Amino acid sequence: METPLKAQHLVIFLLLFPLGPALLLAAVRGAGFRRLLVGAGAAATAAASVALAAVLPSGETLWIAFASPFADQAVIVGEIVVTLFLLAACRRIRRREAWIPVVIAAQGLLLGWAEFGRDLPPVATPLYVDPFSALMAAIIGIVGGLIALYSPGYMADHHRRHPEEKDRRRGFFFLIFLFLSAMFGVVFANHLLWLYFFWEITTLCSFLMIGYTGTEEATRNAFRALGMNALGGLAFALAIVLAGTSSSAPTLEFARVAAPGAALLPAALLAFAGLTKSAQLPFSSWLLGAMVAPTPVSALLHSSTMVKAGVFVVVKLAPALHGTRTGFLLALVGGTTFLAAALLAVTQSHAKRVLAWSTVSNLGLIVACAGVGTPETLWAAAMLILFHAVAKALLFLGVGAIEHRVGSRDIEDMGGLIATRPRLAIAMIVGILGMFLAPFGMLISKWACLKALADHNLLLAVLLAFGSGPTLFFWTKWLGKLISVPSGARASDDVVGDERLALSVLVLLTAGACGLFPLAAAWFVDPWILGLFGAPLALLTRSNLLIMAAMLGMLVILPAISFLQPREPRRVPPYLAGANAGGDAFTGALGATHAVSLRNYYLADFFEENAIVRTATGLALLLTVGMLALA
Amino acid sequence: MKTALLGVVLWLIAAPLVGGLLAGADRILSARLQGRVGPPLLQPFYDALKLWDKRGGVVNRFQNFYMVAFFAFVLASGAIFFAGGDLLLVIFALTLAGVMLALGAWSTHSPYSHVGAEREILQMMAYEPMLLLAAVGMYLAGRSFHVNALASSGIPLVLQLPGVFLGFLLILTIKLRKSPFDLSASHHAHQELVRGITTEYSGRSLALFEIAHWYENVLLLGFVWLFFAFNPALGVAAALAVYFLEVVVDNAYARLTWKVTVRAAWIAAAILGATNLAVVKLLLR
């Protein structure tokens, strides 16, 4: 057959091609040539990922035999190089971080034993692609590509603002493309040793990118990320040792085909690795610390790479965990994280911290869905991954652009953005709407989740109900800040160039994902669920789709109608108890003139950050230990 | 399909009439409780008509859009409900409407509106868990999220969901903007000097807010009715009784702080709501 051959080639192209731009970018110094290379590399990667989605036969899983005998050896050599590199990087650790190299070394030894000490049967098909991994590949290719496209402009500006920092941009762009290649590896790898190799590369890339600026804070946070992900890597190595026996090859398929019970412990260990990578409590602190990196790094880590690798693997394990006590506890880790992170996001005014907690919260919901593991929750999990990737990339890039124009990442400094920089404000508004409001993106998934959880896991349904209140609160008040119009606000410099292109495409993607999500469901998610469970899923009834479409239509038409007013209404100054002193100023005590200054509510004494972090981390730690103990 | 359409048409036409009459009855009852005679029953309609004829003023040209959107989504939310649609979609549309109202207040950059907007979303954060749990409870007891299936099932929801019902009554006080939980805008002039969230609205847009509130009240009483839908007449009586009770509570209490509001609603959801759900799940399945 002609078609599967093409899909195979595209898979291998996506794995290897990004290394080309990566190596070239590591060598190039000129800004113009760099921009060109990044643009071409990103475009080719995105195009290939879209082509893969187009040529993949609907609903099929394609097993890819990789004939080259060198591939396995190359992976082994690669693993050794990564481990040695990380150990060498550990020379800069502090005394209290001394456990990190120990964990990395233990990982290496375990893996060495798994590879050389035992006689594992060869893996016939080390790679595969199914509709879900094709969806992930499209997200990585398009969203990752757009973030890459945005980066040269941002980084040039970053170094203009921070002349004291060493310019390590060549390494930076090398890492971005290496990261993309590794992410494609994670979503296409069937061979567990290959998956582990790509997994470790994502750990390596995030470690180096978080430490990019080279400050003491960045270095410490990079090591925290490395340490937590190394713990996950150790669990991963253990899972490989347990999953591969002399009779069964070490492949990801074990989660689906192994006898129930036999797969549980390795699945639990892999899920643990997924929890560390997707920054679930108790491991969330590394993702919060990762904010010190330049904004494109945050966008990459939060949207299309890294944390998505974690939830991707957890979702893949669902068949082995469904209906077990381990799966139940895993779902509770996710539910606890969802609620606690939403409460924490309420207390933050730093835009990137709000986004970070919201990422952790959404990933918690995905983990909860995977832990429950019914067709409905897995459907919701896949849709959450899609919506979250596009909307969160948009929000991070938007915050980065705001930061370079307003000079602040504080939400309190974004007041009146709709009047001063309307394009940027609309990008942020679209992203925020996509994150929490009906009838847009995430809410569709939450709706599906709540329905499924009411049947299968009441405790999680309650956690979801409680988490949606604070989620609503922190997004709405941010939205309110953006759309408030102080009197006398004047238009100022808006986004331009590649930044504007990346933001515009992401706005269209977010809007498209929200408007056309039934297509994404029909194309990728429904066939995947059908293949996994052998039964079709009819979640979206026609009448509900009509209602959602009508609501979407209203939101498009209403602004048009309200601007068609027959005459401009009379303008009045805001009510200031009759003491207006022109514009947003009022006359206060002793005749002094004060400007109005409005701050949002952060409820810091109501939701005490430290208390929530401590309680939720303790609880999640207990649940995680229980999850492993019961496996 | 026909009954669904009939439900929508009835909702669009009859709900503001019923809501306005309820508001009039509320004002008479409140006046009697305070030892006054009170206005005529139709006073809310006179007020709305008068507002409609007034020349309004705006602080900026965006603010009226949000009020129109608030109005439209309250109507949409009720249309889904009275067409017999999905309860969760009803709640989500109502949430969207509430967000629009708060955004309108934010857009004016006025201190009083700002406080009103913050308090409005505090209220939403407070009642959202209990509202969602009420829908989940109805699903567990009535086997459907659809209003028409729940209403025609003949299952006495209120008997299976007494805790959820009590919790719902508590958040109903927030939603109806009644004391002690009327944080963002009160019906009573003695509760506040400036009416938070609608401070910068006047004329037609303020009339729109009042009419939307009538619609909203009818929709909320529809939720109460659904608990008693096994006997439709009893349901109407229960809805009216609940409204009467809310008016009495409104007059008997002074406003509480937002912290008490959030705590009360969340504790009610956690204890009354979640416990009731667990019991239903254990006993009925």
Q: Is B82 on the interface with A (CB under 8 A)?
A: no
Q: What are the angstrom distances between the C-alpha of A479 and each of A221, A411, A482, A613, B146?
A: 30, 10, 5, 26, 32
Contacting residues of B for A584, CB less than 8 Å apart? 109
Residue A482 within any structural domain of the chain: no
| Residues, chain B | 285
Q: Which residues contact A100 (CB under 8 A, 6 or more apart)?
A: A90, A93, A223, A226, A227, A230
Report yes or no: B280 at the A interface, CB cutoff 8 Å. Answer: no
Q: Over chain A, what is the mean pLDDT?
A: 88
CB spacing of B132 vs A561 below 8 angstroms: no
Tokens of A479: 């939205």
Average pLDDT, whole number, for chain B? 92
Q: Enumerate the residues of chain A whose CB falls inside 8 A of the CB of residue B80.
A: 547
Q: Check CB contact under 8 Å for B86 and A439.
A: no
Say if the Cβ atoms of A574 and B57 lie within 8 Å: no
pLDDT digits (tens, 9 = 90+) for A451-478: 889 888 899 999 999 999 999 999 999 9
What's chain A's Rg over C-alpha atoms? Answer: 24
- What letters, b where the CB count within 10 A reaches 16 and e where it falls short, cover A436-465? bbbbbbbbbbbbbbbbbbbbbbbebbbbbb
Quick check: A292 and A215 in contact, CB under 8 A?
yes
Mutate to test the interface with A, among B75, B91, B92 (most CBs of A within 10 A): B92
Q: Is residue A141 part of a domain?
A: yes
**Residue B191, token pair as written in the block:** 């509760």
Q: Which two tokens stand for residue A398?
A: 């938007």
Q: What is the DSSP letter of A563?
A: T
Q: Is the pLDDT of residue A293 over 80?
A: yes
Closest chain A residue to the Cα of B119, Cα to Cα? A601
CA distance A410 to A348: 9
Q: Is the confidence at residue A2, as pLDDT, over 50?
A: no
The residue count of chain A comes to 631
Å between B263 CA and nearest CA of chain A: 10
Which residues in chain A are closer than 8 Å to B129, comparing Cβ atoms?
Answer: 462, 465-466, 468-469
Q: How many domains does chain A have?
A: 1
Q: What is the pLDDT of residues A25-50, one digit of tens each?
A: 988 888 889 999 999 999 999 999 99
pLDDT tens, residue by residue, B181-232: 888 887 776 666 678 899 999 888 999 999 999 999 999 999 999 999 999 9
Contact list in A for residue B139 (CB cut-off 8 A) is 451, 454
pLDDT band at B116 (very low <50, low <70, confident <90, very high): very high
Q: What is the mean pLDDT of residues A605-609?
A: 91
Range of the domain at A315: 1-320
- Chain A nearest-CA distance from B199, in A, is 7
Of A462, A480, A555, the CB nearest to B133: A462
The answer to whether position A538 is within a domain reads no
Tens of pLDDT, residue by residue over A207-245, are 999 999 989 999 999 999 999 999 999 999 999 888 876
By CB neighbour count within 10 A (0-12 exposed, 13-18 middle, 19+ buried), where does A76 fall?
Answer: middle
Q: Which of A454, A462, A476 is closest, CB to CB, to B274?
A: A462
Q: How many domains does chain B have?
A: 1
Give the one of A481, A484, A547 whose C-beta lies nearest to B80's C-beta.
Answer: A547
CB contact under 8 A, A454 and B107: no
Q: Which residue of B has its CA nearest to A605?
A: B259
Whole-number Å distance between alpha carbons of B113 and A524: 45
Give chain B positions within 8 Å (CB) of A450: 88, 132, 136
Partners of B97 on chain A (C-beta within 8 Å) are: none
- Whole-angstrom distance, CA of residue A495 vs CA of residue B241: 57
The whole-angstrom separation of Cα A242 and Cα B211 is 66
CB-closest option in A462, A483, A575 to B194 = A575
Counting beta carbons within 10 angstroms of the beta carbon of residue A286, is it exposed (0 to 12), middle (13 to 18) or buried (19 or more)? buried
Q: A356-387 pLDDT, tens per residue?
A: 999 999 999 999 999 999 999 999 999 999 99
Domain span holding position B44: 2-284
Please give the pLDDT value at position A438.
66
Concatenating the DSSP letter of every residue in A371-390 gives HH--HHHHHHHHHHHHHHHH
Q: How close does chain A come to B258, measured CA to CA in Å? A: 10
In this predicted structure, the answer to whether residue A566 has a pLDDT above a threshold of 70 is no
The percent of residues above 90 in pLDDT, for chain B, comes to 81
- Window from A421-430, A564-573, A620-629, B213-222 with minimum mean pLDDT: A564-573
Q: Which amino acid is at A442?
A: M
Write the DSSP string, A149-210: HHHHHHHHHHHHH-TTS---HHHHHHHHHHHHHHHHHHHHB-BHHHHHHHHHHHHHHHHHHH
Record: contact A465-B62, CB cut-off 8 A? no
The DSSP-derived string for A408-463 is --BGGGGTTHHHH-HHHHHHHHHHHHHHH-TTSHHHHHHHHHHHHHHHH-HHHHHH
What residues in B contact A575, CB-CB < 8 Å? Answer: 110, 112, 194, 199-200
Chain B, 172 to 211: residues with Cβ < 8 Å from chain A are 194, 199-200
Q: What is the pLDDT of residues A61-111, one digit of tens each?
A: 888 887 677 888 888 899 999 999 999 998 888 888 889 999 999 999 998
CB pair distance less than 8 Å for A569 and B108: no
B51 touches chain A (CB under 8 A): no
- Amino acid code (one letter) for A608: E
Residues 273-292 of A with CB under 8 A from B: none
Kindly determine whether residue B58 and residue A477, on different chains, have CB atoms separated by under 8 Å. no
For A455, name the nearest residue in chain B, comparing CA atoms only: B140
Q: Which residues, listed in sequence order, are joined to residue A570 by a DSSP beta bridge?
A: B57
Residue A46, in any domain of the structure: yes
